[in-house]
């Protein structure tokens, strides 16, 4: 048993940190977040051509680096720390995972290769407007018409949905309910009948979109997996994506702790740094506890996700490990940023300081794919029902 | 990262489990799940016999080096031993202070003579130890020890005077290790000595402390011209603090997974109750049970990080937060147990004041956030060592 990073994994993490410190400064984040696109093309270009991060956990046969989910989590932690504005999460943690789990050989060969080449961004769109995150979220309708499918309806809360080149879409057979009747499709975003609109959000660092499907006709070769029986695959895709959000949350929870400690060491009142007051120290200690416990949860969940993708004894623990990590990290990140505002005092309430960026990102990450209460209920179902 | 144990370690696990299954029965059957924290006063004689049974099988002091009589187990094997021990429901160890604290201190800092005199009794489970650290005015401020040690030239012995408190197992122990002030003019952690003393002597008196549970596993120990042999000071006079604190740096938490197995037993009991009495359908209770389950799962992952030696840095932050994390989790579990029970929470096992296991747990866990460094002290330590925030000011007298 060795539950620590290998030297190579540490190197990946350190490289990511150094690069992001350069390209994802406060100024860079603020410049990107006020655009509708939400990211800087030049930075994305460097990530995909110099760093090759988009290829990290894709098998080598599709042009990937063939590393694992632990390496991916190590990078996501740093992206969370630096609030990186990029289509990375949507492309890699949503769409690439979807292709890996449910894509046909042809779909993987075509799309994963393009993603690895940096020529394609993508996302997963499965949620309608009902505010659910499980199978009930799927509201888009797919009717079979001859050799094709016709898709109709509205998708909401789709990360980078307005900019992605490829949409992995979940839709259901008319009349079906719950986990039944769900199909997955890989659809180029410029297909006729798809109307995409940016949804301005309180957290500006991660963009969301609303997507309308109006009699969109897709060929059956766009179908991923079996028609009407894609829920097990979609569930796994969502769980993998959930682990990835938790990794970002953990990085954010750590970063806001570091920023808060640094600030309280500089801020002098009553003739001494406020970091010396026990009322401040104890809140900072609680923040560190939450960051460290989050880290333990995420590293474990990443190990499970790795085995879920590539085989191993822990593969069947994915649902639980994802919910354990997301429940804890959602609350920890939110609480750490809330405490950070308090410990920064007045400046924590300003637009000028970055604390609010983390406070807002914490809330949007908490909501996305289900908050703490949602994931606790999922765990409760596993142990109580 | 490699989460599973090696095939050799799994073989070791099977060996431990088989031995426990073959021996934790008959006269020892009644000891299952007994004698843990909050229950340490139960079955003292039977548990002493069990300790000796363990020794016969070579299952005491498994982490000690072989040359000191131990089994020489690796970190992984120690983890496995403690985990299987708890899984089997084997009783709280009466020898744990000797095995976990006195012995390792003697191995690290003691003389050859001390090793030969004291270690065999710990390994064989025939001699029990207790710890003389806390005093009425030295709790969180442990260095504020007032107990005095002076060397009597005529007798050729150390003479100890003072009082220790919160001494668990003192009434059953053969020996106590004591920190006492060898330099009467010294302050704080300077001028202390570390003494190994026989309990059965006229100068030592033990009085039980009746606790919140109505039972007494902690004691007060009074030293009135108690004697300690000249050879039984560990390290030099004045080095007692270094000796007392020396082991903390090496502690990597091999027993944490075993402790968590006990927590799991408690949580399982609560889950079963909730299913039986319908509380498991209450949405608020569901959230709290799930939260407890999540907290315990992550506690295990955190221990695995501790045991793996961290992520390359020398300071193990995951170890620094561990006490605050588990003690708070366990305290919450006690409250959850009562809320799951509903009105039955009040009903005693029997009169006049025989608590059920969960009642006893509920009351006893209030001490978890106090002993071994209160939550407040833990937060100071985390802020100062983990985050580099300014140290608490010390008042100079």
CATH code of the domain covering residue B137: 2.40.110.10
The pLDDT, as a whole number, for residue A293 is 98
Residue-level pLDDT at B39:
82
Domain-embedded: residue B394: no
Do B235 and B272 fall into the same domain? no
The tens digit of pLDDT for each residue in A290-299 reads 999 999 999 9
In sequence order, what DSSP letters do the residues of A359-373 get, joined into one string?
HHHHHHHHHTT--HH
Half-sphere exposure of B247 (CA within 13 A, CB side): 15
CA closest to B376 among chain A residues: A282
Q: Residue A151: which CATH number?
A: 2.40.110.10
Q: Does B271 share its domain with B375?
A: yes
Q: Is residue A115 part of a domain?
A: yes
| Residue ranges making up the domain that contains A216 | 123-224
| Mutation target vs B (from A4, A276, A311; most B CBs, 10 A cutoff) | A4
Shortest CA distance from B324: residue in chain A:
A289
Backbone φ and ψ of A186, nearest 5°: -105, 115
Q: What is the number of helices (H) and of strands (E) in chain A?
A: 13, 10
Q: Please, are residues A43 and A23 in contact by the beta-carbon 8 Å criterion?
A: yes
Tens digit of pLDDT for each residue in A188-229? 999 999 999 999 999 999 999 999 999 999 999 999 999 999
- Rounded to a whole number, what is the distance in Å from the CA of A221 to chain B's nearest CA? 39
Ramachandran quadrant class, B58 (left: phi over 0; alpha: psi -120 to 50; beta: rest): left
Do residues A225 and A102 lie in contact, with contact meaning Cβ atoms separated by under 8 Å? yes
For A68-87, what is the mean pLDDT?
Answer: 97
Question: What's the pLDDT at A211?
Answer: 98
Question: Residue B372: is its pLDDT beyond 90?
Answer: no
- Alpha-carbon gap, residue B274 to B135, rounded angstroms: 42
Cβ separation A285–B4 shorter than 8 A: no
- Cβ-Cβ pairs closer than 8 A, A with B, add up to 159
Instruction: Tell me whether residues A285 and B387 touch, CB distance under 8 A.
Output: yes
CA distance B359 to B247: 34
Question: Which residue in A2, A3, A261, A318 has the most chain B C-beta atoms within 10 A of its own C-beta, making it the best mutation to test that interface?
Answer: A3
Select from A177, A192, A224 the last residue of a domain.
Answer: A224
CB atoms A275 and B318 under 8 Å: no
Report whether A288 contacts A257 (CB < 8 A): yes
Of the candidates B5, B310, B387, which has its C-beta nearest A4's C-beta?
A: B310
pLDDT number for residue B396? 64
Domain boundary among A174, A202, A224: A224
* Contact check, Cβ <8 Å, B311/A4: yes
Is residue A63's pLDDT more than 80? yes
Say if the Cβ atoms of B383 and A10 lie within 8 Å: no
Q: Which residues contact B98 (CB under 8 A, 6 or more apart)?
A: B121, B122, B127, B128, B129, B175
Same domain as A339, residue A251: yes
CB A384 within 8 A of CB B275: yes
Q: Which of B79, B309, B320 sits opposite A4 (nearest CB)?
A: B309
Chain B hits for A289, Cβ within 8 Å: 321, 324-325, 382
Is residue B395 assigned to a domain? no
Where would I find the beta strands (DSSP E) of chain A? Answer: 122-125, 141-145, 148-159, 166-172, 182-188, 194-199, 208-219, 223-224, 268-269, 272-273
Rounded to a whole number of angstroms, the distance from the CA of A204 to the nearest CA of chain B is 30
Distances (CA, A) of B216 to A306, B272, B353, B363: 50, 30, 13, 13
CA distances for B179 relative to B115, B169, B195, angstroms: 19, 17, 6
Contact A41, A22 (CB under 8 A): no
- Closest chain A residue by Cα to residue B309: A4
Residue A1 lies in a domain: no
Determine contact, residues A274/A315, Cβ cutoff 8 Å.
no
> CA angle at residue B302 from B299 to B307, to 5 degrees?
125
Q: Please, are residues B334 and B297 in contact by the beta-carbon 8 Å criterion?
A: no
d(CA A319, CA A102): 17
Tokens of A315: 């593969």
Catalytic entry in B56, B251, B344, B376: B251
Q: Report the mean per-residue pLDDT for chain B.
A: 93
pLDDT above 60 (res B116): yes
pLDDT at B247: 67
Report the gap between the CA of A384 and the closest CA in chain B (Å): 6
Residue B12 lies in a domain: yes
**Residues B236 and B256 grouped into a single domain:** no
Q: What is the largest CA-CA distance in chain B?
A: 74
- In this predicted structure, what is the pLDDT of residue B248? 64
Residue B185 — φ and ψ, nearest 5°?
Answer: -95, 0
User: ∠ at Cα B371 (B189, B295), nearest 5°?
Assistant: 125
- The answer to whether residue A54 sits within a structural domain is yes
- Which residues on neighbouring strands pair with residue A198, listed in sequence order? A209
B26: in domain: yes
Measured in angstroms, the CA of B72 and the nearest CA of chain A are apart by 18
Whether residue B51 lies in the annotated active site: no
Both A54 and A183 in a single domain?
no
Chain B nearest-CA residue for A68: B1
Quick one: B89 and B138 in the same domain? Answer: no
**Which residues in chain B touch residue A314, judged by CB atoms under 8 angstroms apart?**
3
Contact A5 B1 (CB under 8 A): yes
Domain assignment of residue B13, given as a range: 7-94
- The widest CA-to-CA distance across chain A, in whole angstroms, is 79
Q: Are residues B269 and B371 in the same domain?
A: yes
- State whether B2 and A1 contact (CB < 8 Å): yes
Concatenating the DSSP letter of every residue in A296-340 gives HHHHHHHHHHHHHHH--TTGGGHHHHHHHHHHHHHHHHHHHHHHH
**Is the CB of A284 less than 8 angstroms away from the CB of B389?**
yes
Q: A257, A262, A269, A299: which to substitute to probe chain B, counting the most B Cβ within 10 Å?
A: A299
- Closest-CA residue in chain B for A331? B291
Q: What is the pLDDT of residues B246-257, one digit of tens each?
A: 766 555 577 788
Over residues B176-188, the mean pLDDT reads 94
Residue at a domain's end among B240, B269, B302: B240
Q: Is B87 inside any structural domain?
A: yes
Task: Give the nearest chain B residue to A265 (CA atoms).
Answer: B389
Beta-carbon separation of A379 and B294 below 8 A: yes
Kindly give the interhelix angle for A278-310 and B283-307, rounded to the nearest 10 degrees: 90
Which chain A residues have a beta carbon less than 8 Å from that of B286?
A: 376-377, 380, 384
Least confident of A252-261, A297-306, B73-82: B73-82
Show residues of chain A in contact with B280, CB under 8 Å.
Answer: 380, 384-385
Q: Count the domains in chain B.
A: 3
ipTM associated with this complex: 0.96
| Residue A90 and residue A23 share a domain | yes
Q: Cα A159 from chain centroid? A: 9
Q: Is residue B107 part of a domain?
A: no
Give the CATH number for residue B58.
1.10.540.10
Task: Please answer whether residues B336 and B270 qualify as being in contact, where contact means their C-beta atoms are separated by less than 8 angstroms.
Answer: yes
Domain boundary among B201, B218, B240: B240
Token pair of A181 as six digits = 């009747």
**Which DSSP letter does residue B200 get?**
S
Residue B371 lies in a domain: yes
Instruction: Write the CATH number for B368.
Output: 1.20.140.10
Query: For B254-268, how does the pLDDT look when each residue is reduced to its tens digit (9 = 90+)?
Result: 778 888 988 999 999
Closest residue of A to B389, CA-based?
A275
**Are A258 and A371 members of one domain?**
yes
- Is residue A168 located within the same domain as residue A246? no
* Confidence band for B245, pLDDT divided at 50, 70 and 90: confident
What is the C-alpha separation between A229 and A184, in angstroms, rounded?
A: 9
Instruction: Give the total number of structural domains in chain A.
Output: 3
Boundary residue ending a domain (B67, B94, B121): B94
A383:B293 CB<8 A: yes
Q: Which of A2, A273, A327 sits opposite B308 (nearest CB)?
A: A2
Determine the pLDDT at residue A18. Answer: 97
DSSP string, B219-256: EEEEEEEEEEEGGGEEEEEEBHHHHHHHGGGG---TTH
* DSSP state at residue B357: H
Q: Do B140 and B164 belong to one domain?
A: yes
User: What are the DSSP E strand ranges found in B119-174?
Assistant: 129-132, 148-152, 157-165
Angle between helix B256-277 and helix B357-364 axes, rounded to 10 deg: 130
Lowest mean pLDDT among A107-111, A374-378, B75-79, B162-166: B75-79
Domain end residue (candidates: A173, A196, A224): A224
Collect all residues of chain B within an 8 Å Cβ-Cβ radius of residue A2: 1-2, 308
B314 and B281 part of one domain: yes
Per-residue pLDDT for B312 more than 60? Answer: no
Bridging pattern class, strands B157-165 and B148-152: antiparallel
- The mean pLDDT of B285-310, rounded to a whole number, is 92
């Amino acid at each position: 048993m060795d539950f620590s990073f290998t030297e190579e994994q540490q190197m990946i993490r350190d490289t990511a940190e150094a690069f992001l410190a350069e390209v994802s400064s406060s100024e860079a984040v603020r410049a990107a977040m006020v655009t509708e696109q939400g990211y800087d093309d030049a930075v994305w270009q460097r990530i995909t051509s110099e760093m090759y991060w988009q290829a990290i956990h894709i098998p080598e046969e599709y042009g990937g680096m063939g590393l694992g989910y632990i390496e991916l989590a190590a990078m996501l932690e740093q992206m969370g720390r630096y609030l990186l504005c990029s289509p990375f999460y949507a492309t890699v943690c949503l769409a690439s995972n979807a292709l890996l789990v449910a894509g046909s050989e042809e779909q993987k060969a075509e799309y994963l290769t393009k993603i690895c080449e940096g020529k394609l961004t993508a996302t997963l769109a499965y949620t309608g407007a009902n505010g659910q995150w499980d199978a009930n979220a799927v509201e888009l309708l797919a009717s079979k018409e001859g050799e094709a499918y016709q898709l109709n309806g509205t998708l909401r809360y789709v990360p980078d949905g307005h900019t992605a080149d490829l949409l992995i879409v979940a839709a259901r057979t008319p009349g079906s309910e719950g986990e039944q009747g769900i199909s997955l499709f890989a659809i180029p975003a410029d297909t006729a009948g798809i109307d995409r609109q940016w949804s301005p959000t309180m957290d500006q660092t991660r963009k969301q979109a609303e997507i309308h499907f109006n009699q969109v006709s897709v060929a059956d070769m766009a179908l991923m997996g079996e028609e009407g029986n894609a829920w097990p695959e979609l569930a796994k895709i969502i769980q993998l994506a959930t682990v990835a959000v938790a990794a970002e949350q953990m990085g954010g929870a750590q970063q806001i702790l570091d920023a808060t400690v640094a600030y309280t060491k500089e801020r002098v009142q009553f003739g001494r740094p406020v970091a010396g007051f026990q009322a401040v120290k104890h809140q900072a200690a609680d923040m560190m506890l939450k960051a460290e416990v989050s880290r333990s949860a995420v590293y474990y969940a990443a190990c499970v996700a790795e085995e879920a993708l590539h085989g191993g004894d822990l593969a069947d623990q994915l649902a639980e490990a994802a919910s354990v990590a997301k429940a804890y990290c959602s609350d920890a990140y939110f609480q750490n940023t809330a405490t950070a505002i308090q410990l920064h005092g007045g400046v924590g309430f300003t637009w000028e300081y970055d604390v609010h960026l983390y406070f807002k990102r914490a809330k949007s990450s908490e909501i996305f794919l289900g908050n703490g209460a949602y994931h606790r209920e999922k765990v409760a179902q596993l142990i109580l029902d | 990262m490699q989460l599973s144990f090696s095939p050799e370690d799994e073989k070791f696990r099977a060996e431990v489990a088989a031995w426990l299954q073959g021996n934790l029965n008959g006269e020892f059957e009644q000891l299952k799940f007994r004698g843990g924290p909050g229950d340490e006063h139960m079955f003292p004689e039977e548990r002493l016999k069990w300790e000796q049974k363990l020794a016969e099988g070579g299952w005491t002091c498994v982490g000690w080096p072989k040359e000191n009589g131990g089994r020489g187990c690796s970190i992984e094997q120690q983890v496995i031993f403690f985990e299987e021990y708890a899984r089997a429901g084997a009783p709280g160890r009466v020898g744990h202070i000797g095995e976990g604290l006195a012995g390792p201190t003697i191995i690290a800092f003691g003389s050859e003579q001390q090793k030969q005199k004291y270690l065999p009794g710990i390994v064989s489970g025939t001699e029990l130890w207790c710890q003389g650290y806390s005093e009425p005015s030295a709790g969180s401020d442990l260095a504020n020890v007032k107990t005095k040690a002076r060397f009597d030239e005529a007798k050729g012995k150390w003479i100890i005077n003072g009082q220790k408190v919160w001494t668990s197992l003192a009434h059953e122990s053969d020996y106590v290790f004591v920190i006492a002030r060898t330099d009467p003019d010294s302050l704080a952690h300077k001028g202390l000595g570390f003494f190994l003393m026989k309990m059965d002597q006229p100068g030592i008196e033990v009085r039980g402390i009746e606790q919140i549970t109505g039972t007494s596993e902690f004691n007060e120990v009074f030293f009135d011209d108690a004697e300690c042999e000249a050879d039984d000071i560990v390290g030099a006079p004045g080095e007692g603090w270094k000796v007392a604190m020396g082991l903390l740096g090496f502690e990597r938490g091999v027993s944490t997974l075993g402790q968590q197995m006990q927590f799991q037993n408690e949580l399982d009991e609560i889950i079963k109750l909730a299913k039986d009495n319908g509380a498991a359908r209450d949405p608020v209770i569901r959230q709290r049970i799930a939260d407890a389950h999540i907290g315990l799962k992550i506690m295990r992952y955190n221990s695995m990080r501790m045991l793996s030696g961290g992520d390359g840095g020398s300071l193990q932050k995951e170890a620094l937060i561990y006490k605050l994390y588990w003690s708070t989790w366990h305290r919450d579990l006690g409250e959850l147990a009562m809320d799951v029970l509903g009105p039955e929470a009040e009903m005693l096992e029997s009169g006049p004041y025989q608590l059920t296991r969960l009642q006893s747990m509920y009351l006893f866990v209030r001490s978890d956030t106090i002993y071994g460094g209160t939550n407040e002290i833990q937060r100071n330590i985390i802020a100062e060592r983990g985050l580099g925030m300014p140290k608490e000011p010390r008042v100079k007298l």
